[in-house]
C-alpha cells in the first residue's frame, strides 16, 4: 500500500529547502563574520586617522589657487 503524503507540507518543505540553498550560496558570496567587518572598519578608521594626523599642509590656510580667486 502507498504512503499518504500531505502535498501542502511537501510543497512547503521544497520551498524551504530552495531558500536554504540560496542562503547558503549568498553566505559564501557575500558573508563575512561580524568580527571581520569590525576589523575592517577599525583598520579603515586607523588609516584615516593616521593620514589626518600626518598631513603636511594645514587645512586652515588657503592654498595659492584659493588666494588668487581662481
CA distance linking residue 11 with residue 44, whole number of Å? 47
pLDDT, tens only, 1-27: 789 999 999 999 999 999 999 999 998
Tell me the per-residue pLDDT of 50-65, one tens digit each, with 9 for 90 and over: 999 998 876 666 666 6
- List CB contacts of 63: < 8 A, sequence separation 6 or more: 57
* pTM score over 0.85: no
Amino acid at each position: 500500500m502507498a504512503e499518504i503524503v500531505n502535498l501542502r507540507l511537501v510543497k512547503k518543505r521544497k520551498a524551504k529547502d530552495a531558500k536554504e540553498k540560496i542562503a547558503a550560496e549568498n553566505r559564501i558570496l557575500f558573508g563575512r563574520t561580524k568580527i571581520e567587518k569590525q576589523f575592517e572598519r577599525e583598520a579603515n578608521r586607523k588609516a584615516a586617522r593616521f593620514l589626518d594626523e600626518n598631513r603636511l599642509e594645514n587645512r586652515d590656510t588657503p592654498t595659492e589657487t584659493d588666494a588668487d580667486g581662481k
